[in-house]
């Protein structure tokens, strides 16, 4: 994988801030042509720096619910199947492999408690999942954009 230069870093920051920014607008920001920006984005995708694009919708009049699932696996060393299955569930918006007693911290967002229950059931029956502890979020009190965390801005 190639080293990122300052322009690549800036492109990634801008895309994190506004995933809908045009190549022309990015070009103005980083002082490159639209085509040069497109080529850099394609290279970042090929190199695995950009893994995909996500659409997050919110139904009118219905707040998005979120839950954190603490997943305990049978065998930590052979848990790739669980991770692959989680990637296929659209409501799984974040998954961290963690050290310590538990194995995975999974953030789920859905439009109803029933859908969170369906996701929980789908995860619970995965081969290799030993147990799940779930915490429903009542209210978000801190939500910082990821693009600025730790960058001293």
Give the integer Cα–Cα distance in Å for 37 and 39: 5
Burial 53-68 (b: 16+ CB within 10 A, else e): eeeeeeeeeeebbbbe
Residue 53's closest CA among 44, 62, 63? 44
pLDDT, residue 95, reads 94
pLDDT, residue 28, reads 93
For 93-147, what is each residue's pLDDT tens digit? 999 999 888 999 999 988 888 989 999 999 999 988 999 999 999 888 887 776 5
For 46-82, what is each residue's pLDDT tens digit? 888 888 776 655 555 444 789 999 999 887 767 788 9
Does residue 151 surpass a pLDDT of 80? no
> Topology of domain 6-46, per CATH?
Arc Repressor Mutant, subunit A (1.10.10)
pLDDT, residue 122, reads 94
Does residue 150 surpass a pLDDT of 50? no
**Ranges in the chain annotated CATH 3.30.70.920:** 65-136
Q: Exposed (0-12), middle (13-18) or buried (19+): which is 73, by Cβ within 10 Å? A: buried
Residue 133 tokens, joined: 């502890």
CATH of the structural domain 65-136, one choice from 3.30.70.920, 3.90.110.10, 3.30.1550.10, 3.30.2420.10 = 3.30.70.920
pLDDT, residue 149, reads 44
Alpha-carbon distances, residue 100 vs 58, 71, 105, 151 (angstroms)? 34, 12, 11, 27
103 near 133, Cβ under 8 Å?
no
**Ranges in the chain annotated CATH 1.10.10:** 6-46
């Amino acid at each position: 994988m190639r080293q990122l230069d300052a322009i690549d870093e800036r492109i990634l920051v801008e895309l994190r801030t506004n995933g809908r920014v045009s190549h022309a607008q990015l070009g103005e920001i980083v002082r490159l042509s639209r085509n040069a920006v497109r080529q850099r984005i394609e290279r970042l995708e090929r190199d695995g720096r950009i893994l995909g694009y996500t659409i997050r919708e919110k139904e009118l009049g219905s707040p998005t619910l979120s839950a954190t699932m603490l997943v305990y696996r049978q065998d930590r060393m052979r848990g790739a199947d669980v991770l692959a299955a989680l990637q296929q569930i659209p409501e799984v918006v974040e998954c961290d492999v963690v050290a310590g007693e538990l194995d995975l911290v999974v953030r789920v967002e859905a439009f109803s408690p029933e859908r969170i229950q369906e996701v929980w059931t789908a995860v619970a029956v995965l081969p290799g999942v030993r147990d799940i502890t779930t915490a429903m979020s009542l209210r978000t009190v801190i939500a910082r954009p990821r693009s600025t965390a730790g960058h001293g801005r």
